[in-house]
Amino acid sequence: MNTKDKVLLAYSGGLDTSCILKWLQEKGFEVICFIADVGQDEDFEAAKKKAFGCGAEEVIIKDVKEDFVENYIWPSIQMGLVYEERYLLGTSLARPCISVALVEAAKSRGAKYIAHGATGKGNDQVRFEMCAYALFPEVKIISPWRDDDFCKRFQGRLDLIKYAEQNGIPVSAKPSAPWSTDANIMHISYESGILEDPNQIAPNNLYEMTKDPKLAPSKPYRVKIHFQNGLPVKAEDMQSMKTFKKPIDILKFLNEVGGLYGIGRIDIVENRFVGLKSRGVYETPGGTILFSAHQDLEVFCLDREIYRTKSYLRDSMSVYVYNGFWFSPEAVFTRKCLELSQEHVNGEVIMELMPGYCKPLARKSAQELYNQELVSMDVHGGYVPADATGFIRINSVRSTEFARAYGKYKC
Amino acid sequence: MNTKDKVLLAYSGGLDTSCILKWLQEKGFEVICFIADVGQDEDFEAAKKKAFGCGAEEVIIKDVKEDFVENYIWPSIQMGLVYEERYLLGTSLARPCISVALVEAAKSRGAKYIAHGATGKGNDQVRFEMCAYALFPEVKIISPWRDDDFCKRFQGRLDLIKYAEQNGIPVSAKPSAPWSTDANIMHISYESGILEDPNQIAPNNLYEMTKDPKLAPSKPYRVKIHFQNGLPVKAEDMQSMKTFKKPIDILKFLNEVGGLYGIGRIDIVENRFVGLKSRGVYETPGGTILFSAHQDLEVFCLDREIYRTKSYLRDSMSVYVYNGFWFSPEAVFTRKCLELSQEHVNGEVIMELMPGYCKPLARKSAQELYNQELVSMDVHGGYVPADATGFIRINSVRSTEFARAYGKYKC
Amino acid sequence: MNTKDKVLLAYSGGLDTSCILKWLQEKGFEVICFIADVGQDEDFEAAKKKAFGCGAEEVIIKDVKEDFVENYIWPSIQMGLVYEERYLLGTSLARPCISVALVEAAKSRGAKYIAHGATGKGNDQVRFEMCAYALFPEVKIISPWRDDDFCKRFQGRLDLIKYAEQNGIPVSAKPSAPWSTDANIMHISYESGILEDPNQIAPNNLYEMTKDPKLAPSKPYRVKIHFQNGLPVKAEDMQSMKTFKKPIDILKFLNEVGGLYGIGRIDIVENRFVGLKSRGVYETPGGTILFSAHQDLEVFCLDREIYRTKSYLRDSMSVYVYNGFWFSPEAVFTRKCLELSQEHVNGEVIMELMPGYCKPLARKSAQELYNQELVSMDVHGGYVPADATGFIRINSVRSTEFARAYGKYKC
Amino acid sequence: MNTKDKVLLAYSGGLDTSCILKWLQEKGFEVICFIADVGQDEDFEAAKKKAFGCGAEEVIIKDVKEDFVENYIWPSIQMGLVYEERYLLGTSLARPCISVALVEAAKSRGAKYIAHGATGKGNDQVRFEMCAYALFPEVKIISPWRDDDFCKRFQGRLDLIKYAEQNGIPVSAKPSAPWSTDANIMHISYESGILEDPNQIAPNNLYEMTKDPKLAPSKPYRVKIHFQNGLPVKAEDMQSMKTFKKPIDILKFLNEVGGLYGIGRIDIVENRFVGLKSRGVYETPGGTILFSAHQDLEVFCLDREIYRTKSYLRDSMSVYVYNGFWFSPEAVFTRKCLELSQEHVNGEVIMELMPGYCKPLARKSAQELYNQELVSMDVHGGYVPADATGFIRINSVRSTEFARAYGKYKC
């Protein structure tokens, strides 16, 4: 390695990446710190100052919030992505967004190296690096937590603190939480530490983005969400009659009211791409409302069999995104198919927010596949009930034939 | 048709099937009324009396509640069945259970005909008849609502009332609800009438099995559910420390507390097998708690890829059951596969009930695939973080190759 | 029915549809005969004369061969359609093509009725009628072989012959083959009659489109097929160096040489949409060569995971087409996805024709995802073998964990 | 590493593994050579002598042919495994079989290390090591072709030859073929070398197991294959009337006649698990006949929808096996499901062997789901054609509704 090699470090301002910043300099690198503002609640100026204090050549703080909302969260809502039936992928979606900015910064500074502080057992290392390789194949990745030297030197938090003190890295007086956190405008995740025991109930004071549902307003709150091609295009506060149209404004509004009602908290065990199971606690207030509204409108607008194929593709895409394959052949293709499926997902849904959950109450669309007249028990329309006789009888052929050939059904 | 032919009529005690009972006699049939007690809240003695009053030769009331819980609901929980992501199949599961009893009764009475009052646009006609044909291929089905004569004669509710009055069929003084209902020990469904407009918010006084969440106790309630091979085997009330082991007792207990907390209400549009979209409102208190607990334990116990294959099979099975194919080659096969998948779904889940929803808080298993030591960020166990480097790089090969051959990714 | 109602009859010139033509007139219809020329070997002028002789008001003969090749066969090759692993859908693809022309003719003549001679146990009735309803929802279909009157009157071939003689319908002196046939430019199918016994070996003199492989030239023949976006765009005869570019010319050329070599004969049992199993013998010379060449190029050009998703969609689409859902929401959507998947299926394949089969020998593409340098055992390129260590070890995590938790693998 | 550590080397007798044998000794290992006899045509005694000559402490030659046929090939036929539509997995299936024997030998000798000569770009390294880790999690793998030292020292074949000469390793005078080969009782594969160019036609003299179809007997040959639960249980030579029942005898017989007719040759590009595309040429005479016979019987015996689910599972299983996950949670589960699916695949198929290909001619089963009477156009049985009317009309509902709501179909 040349002593003057530049490395872009995905910097968080925390103890770990500050130590990594120093350690990279020891290794002979010129370090440029990069912080993506994806909506996390952080003092970016303080982080910048800290980075410079630790010897960073440059500190780049890039606001990618709108990009994140429009090009990652919105498509995810449109595609209906959800991992293992429950997780809305808040962290997984942020990673490619951050990686794009990181790679751009690296290229613009002529840096051949990218470093990050993600652990060696997690998903994030995979997501960051997969994106980086896809966008910048010749990049060299430095992942200290997978580096033998680094890991021997820093065997626990105490080693980091000691190193920080020795190297003039300010250490927060505040004791760190007994879990780790990842925050952005879509969600906050909590894992590790005391959460590692899946049978230990998560403490109630964990949550930062949502209020305790027990303390939420008891009166329901209604919002109307409008979709075009499966994308949210407007949110209406049905109390104040305020409306929001810009994606980031819609999300912020829904985060606010959703947070007030304690909506979108989950506590799950999930399967990581590296083969481990881990326990995660997540809060995704606005995302949960949008997901649920979209889910409701979608089944309303889509033909049954398109819906089924779409669901299969959605499940695949959710795994791709969770695993870090946002920039991959399969994700590019599957996303196009899912976008196609949303051509007719146009309309609006009234969502009721209640303490701890939300649910759709009503939905409509300009061009409706739902045909009230046809389904009505009181109307004789284009559908001829007598046709059902033949339909049922032909559908029974295989079942009766099976019993004839291979024996009666067990009841 | 011989004038002495016997017909088994699936009788509900309501106006429709009472008129059908008379009408079948007019057609020359000897009518045996059959009522399956699947847990609906009904005065069976009154229904019996009414049936005899309307000329029934015999009235059979069969309690199939335990059969329903053990052989239909429990397997459904074990398989994780859910239709179009939200509907827990309360009605769909009851149909094959009722059909088995109906067919048995028909055979034991030497009846060659079975009649039912299901409409010609719905799923239930399909479910009843598919089951009947599978179990009793030579059966003849009479479905008055698909019969031209019957439909011409009874064009609306008024015609039924008039006919009832003319034929001495007692008509309830209570005005019927502006929707139709199907109830059993698992759930109550509401559809038709004013619910046919999917943009009309369902009235709050609709629900019979669950309290309004706004009126539920504000203090959370905890229950612990134990599973063996994916089947619920015990429920513990963590407040009173009472335990329930018999399936029907577990379900009743969870229905009671779940009902108290207003858990399991959904309002959806769904895709019927006959090609129509319909709007349904459902309440499934105990089933929702069981489904959610099982979902949580399953992802905890199952290998990731078994989980994925299982989910695919589950989606298929849910469609089979919804469509009425409980007794079909595909359902028999798929069910066996799903049962196999549950071999290791053993353990317990603590569920928290809150007004309007429930969620898992903690879970454990005797033989755990979850490996706390391996996943811990603080432990260096059998998993070697450095291995992730090669894992990521090889997983990136296709993505970088794709960009090389076919052009850069759009960001 | 008004005595002056017009009906469009899908006419074949054979005994059945000639009797139907008469029978429809008896029923009071004005009958317009419609024959689609999809490439079957038939004397259209004779058929026309016969139809007029039987009382047709008008006889429409429409050449839809190019439409059939370009808009049905070509997309099928592009999508890689094959039913139950073996059947290339020659008949299934022709049905929607014919139906479009039939519906157009019916509309242009103001006919509200369409009649056909397909049997009541087969797939073709479904395909014709599904297409007709999709394109002309208010159409009324007359399907004599499902009509009680007709079926009682014509209980067998002898009844038809008798009726023909009584009504001046010319009956061919040539005894009909002991099986039934459907022919078009893509294939000929044989079924029914002596073929109904699946354990009876099909007679060797059955085939009309292909020579007996035992009598084929012993010298292999080579053709090169070029594809663009998965569609065949050129075929080269590598012996004569002649080239063919128009779809119909490519197909005719490949039918000719494929027929000479006896390529594309299959003898299968298949699952019909109506729930029956049937035995079919098919010969599809050119289609088999194109399918095989496309299959080879596709796996060469497509990313592995796109290929996998595409294969899933292809299997669904094959079922849709077989079942008659060419014009359906799901087919429209799935086809668009499959077309998208073919963006990079560009290149050429050298096919070797041998008596009875063909196989790909070589393939290339201008922009290759295949990377000879990377895969070479002798080159150290962008792929780093040492990375495989971590890749394998991380991929083993789940397998070793599974054995730890749930017991050793059985060997 | 202790100087006395024992390593089990998967030894082939060739130049590569002989050099590896020496190199491991240089590294301080005590080397035990292991050769699995999976049916490859090899002089095992000569290999043994050579190994001892190169300093092996022990040479184990284990005949696993019967195990391979009964526990790997037979299940594969039963499950219908095929990778990317064409490759019958001959090498992939042998790997776990060999690995089991290798691991057993290692354990019995107290060896903690296993070494192999598979390349770092291929599938076999993954298959061997995945199996080894699954069965022997604490094993240490030595893969010289991924070892930096080894790779620097041996940059090409010439380096190996030089090293051999220096170390008294006999080098075959016969020039090696310009491709590499893997052979077992099921197949021989050819890849690398001149085959790496996918547009280069493979030389005709490549094949060792099958005759050139051009030189095959012109007279067709018939064999009858009997299956029970989808497993081949008997093969009859319909010329000589000889029968074969033991799995290995069935396979040998079919290899012999299949080889005589040049059956089972394919030339494909495939997608490796490590993300590369490679070109492979394979010959699998007996396996091809068995696969084709099983495929024919299966669709004959299985319910349509079971067949569809089974095919989905089969596709997954084929990928698992190809990728090296024979001993994995997903393969264990999926295999059980696939075995279940074969309960009714009982019967016999007459296969015709022709030069270069084979095809089913006839099939039968004792308990037939195929119902000749029902499907016959001439019989009025349990199937009522008139029922198809309603069946078609209800199936058309979604298609016509879709056009109503979202616009006409494009023709």
- List chain A pLDDT tens, one digit each, 411 residues: 445 799 999 999 999 999 999 999 999 999 999 999 999 999 999 999 999 999 999 999 999 999 999 999 999 999 999 999 999 999 999 999 999 999 999 999 999 999 999 999 999 999 999 999 999 999 999 999 999 999 999 988 899 999 999 999 998 877 788 999 999 999 999 999 999 999 999 999 999 999 999 999 999 999 999 999 999 999 999 999 999 999 999 999 999 999 999 999 999 999 999 999 999 999 999 999 999 999 999 999 999 999 999 999 999 999 999 999 999 999 999 999 999 999 999 999 999 999 999 999 999 998 899 999 898 877 666 799 999 999 999 999 999 999 999 999 998
Residue D400 has pLDDT above 70, yes or no: yes
B124 is catalytic: yes
Instruction: In whole angstroms, give the CA distance from residue A266 to residue A88.
Output: 10
Question: pLDDT tier at C1 (50, 70, 90 boundaries)?
Answer: very low
Residue C394 in contact with partner chain A when CB distance is under 8 A: yes
Contact C404 B368 (CB under 8 A): no
Say if residue B220 is in the same domain as residue B73. no
Q: Report the pLDDT averaged over residues C274-284.
A: 97
Task: Assess contact for A69 and A76: CB atoms under 8 A.
Answer: no
pLDDT in tens, D266-288: 999 999 999 999 999 999 999 99
Say if residue B46 is in the same domain as residue B128. yes
**In sequence order, which residues have a C-beta less than 8 Å from that of residue C16 and are 6 or more positions away?**
C117, C160
Type of residue found at B244: F
Pairing of strands A188-191, A6-10: unpaired
C314 in a structural domain: no
A327 in a structural domain: no
Task: Assess contact for A248 and A65: CB atoms under 8 A.
Answer: yes
Question: D126, D148, D176: which is the final residue of a domain?
Answer: D176
Residue B150 in contact with partner chain A when CB distance is under 8 A: no
Say if residue B189 is in the same domain as residue B239. yes
The pLDDT, as a whole number, for residue B381 is: 65
The DSSP output letter for D234 is E
Say if residue D352 is in the same domain as residue D220. yes
- Cβ contacts of C274 on chain D, cutoff 8 Å: 383, 388, 391
Cα A309-A312-A315 angle, rounded to 5 deg: 150
Which positions 300-329 of A are in contact with B (Cβ < 8 Å)?
Answer: 300, 304, 307-308, 311-312, 315, 319, 324-325, 327-329
Query: Which of D375, D223, D371 has the alpha carbon at shortest distance from D300?
Result: D371
Distance from D40 to chain C by nearest Cα, in Å? Answer: 22
Query: Which of C352, C343, C344, C336 has the alpha carbon at shortest distance from C293?
Result: C352
The pLDDT, as a whole number, for residue A175 is: 79
- Cβ contacts of C229 on chain B, cutoff 8 Å: none
Distance from D199 to chain C by nearest Cα, in Å? Answer: 4
What's this model's pTM, rounded to 2 decimal places? 0.97
CATH number, domain with residue D245: 3.90.1260.10
The pLDDT, as a whole number, for residue A11 is: 97
Query: Which of A74, A9, A65 has the alpha carbon at shortest distance from A35?
Result: A9
Query: Which of D147, D121, D120, D123 has the alpha carbon at shortest distance from D7?
Result: D147
Say if residue C297 is in the same domain as residue C248. yes
Contact A394 D391 (CB under 8 A): yes
Judged by DSSP in three states, D54 sits in: coil
Structure tokens at C26: 């008896």
Which positions 324-363 of D are in contact with C (Cβ < 8 Å)?
Answer: 324-325, 327-329, 332, 350, 354-357, 359-363
Task: Choose, from A146, A153, A180, A249, the residue flagged as catalytic.
Answer: A180
Contact A394 C316 (CB under 8 A): no
Residue spans of beta strands (DSSP E) within B311-389: 347-354, 357-364
pLDDT in tens, D55-102: 999 999 999 999 999 999 999 999 999 999 999 999 999 999 999 999
Which positions 106-125 of A are in contact with B (Cβ < 8 Å)?
Answer: 119-121, 125
The pLDDT, as a whole number, for residue D377 is: 72
D195 in a structural domain: yes
Contact C388 D156 (CB under 8 A): no
A16 is catalytic: yes
Say if residue C258 is in the same domain as residue C112. no
C335 in a structural domain: no
What radius of gyration, in Å, describes the C-alpha atoms of chain C?
25
Contact B196 A375 (CB under 8 A): yes
The pLDDT, as a whole number, for residue D4 is: 76
Pairing of strands A113-115, A6-10: parallel
Structure tokens at C286: 């050119």
For an interface test with A, the pick among D277, D365, D372, D394 (most A C-beta atoms closer than 10 Å) comes out as D394
Residue B1 has pLDDT above 50, yes or no: no
Question: B149, B176, B203: which is the final residue of a domain?
Answer: B176
Domains in chain D: how many in total? Answer: 3
D316 in a structural domain: no
Say if residue D123 is in the same domain as residue D252. no
First CA to last CA distance, chain B = 72
Of residues A367 and C314, more confidently modeled: C314
Distance from C135 to chain A by nearest Cα, in Å? Answer: 15
Say if residue D134 is in the same domain as residue D216. no
pLDDT in tens, B292-325: 999 999 999 999 999 999 999 999 999 999 999 9
Residue D334 has pLDDT above 60, yes or no: yes
Contact B359 A133 (CB under 8 A): no
Question: pLDDT tier at D205 (50, 70, 90 boundaries)?
Answer: very high
The pLDDT, as a whole number, for residue C380 is: 62
Residue A99 in contact with partner chain B when CB distance is under 8 A: no
pLDDT in tens, B234-252: 999 999 999 999 999 999 9
The pLDDT, as a whole number, for residue A1 is: 46
Structure tokens at A67: 């990009």
Q: 């008129």: which residue's tokens? A: B19
Question: B176, B203, B228: which is the final residue of a domain?
Answer: B176
Q: Report the pLDDT averaged over residues D402-407.
A: 95
Residue spans of beta strands (DSSP E) within C24-177: 30-37, 58-63, 113-115, 140-142
Contact A344 D405 (CB under 8 A): yes
Distance from B227 to chain C by nearest Cα, in Å? Answer: 17
Cα D175-D179-D180 angle, rounded to 5 deg: 95
- Cβ contacts of B137 on chain D, cutoff 8 Å: 382
pLDDT in tens, B17-35: 999 999 999 999 999 999 9
Residue C151 in contact with partner chain D when CB distance is under 8 A: yes
* Structural domain boundaries enclosing B379: 375-406
The pLDDT, as a whole number, for residue B411 is: 85
D335 in a structural domain: no
Contact D406 A367 (CB under 8 A): yes
C124 is catalytic: yes
D185 in a structural domain: yes
CATH number, domain with residue C76: 3.40.50.620
Query: Which of A84, A42, C293 has the alpha carbon at shortest distance from B299?
Result: A84
* Alpha helix (H) residue ranges in A85-241: 90-108, 124-135, 148-153, 157-166
B383: nearest CB among C303, C384, C397: C397
Residue A229 in contact with partner chain B when CB distance is under 8 A: no
Contact B303 C389 (CB under 8 A): no
Residue A44 in contact with partner chain B when CB distance is under 8 A: no
ipTM: 0.96
B225 in a structural domain: yes
Contact A361 B202 (CB under 8 A): yes
Cα A295-A296-A300 angle, rounded to 5 deg: 115
Say if residue B236 is in the same domain as residue B274. yes
**Strands of the B140-142 sheet, one edge to the other:** B58-63, B30-37, B6-10, B113-115, B140-142
Which positions 201-220 of D are in contact with A (Cβ < 8 Å)?
Answer: none
The pLDDT, as a whole number, for residue D1 is: 46
Say if residue A34 is in the same domain as residue A138. yes
For an interface test with C, the pick among D100, D314, D377, D380 (most C C-beta atoms closer than 10 Å) comes out as D377
Say if residue C251 is in the same domain as residue C397. no
Active-site annotation of D, residues = 16, 95, 124, 180
Say if residue A40 is in the same domain as residue A171. yes
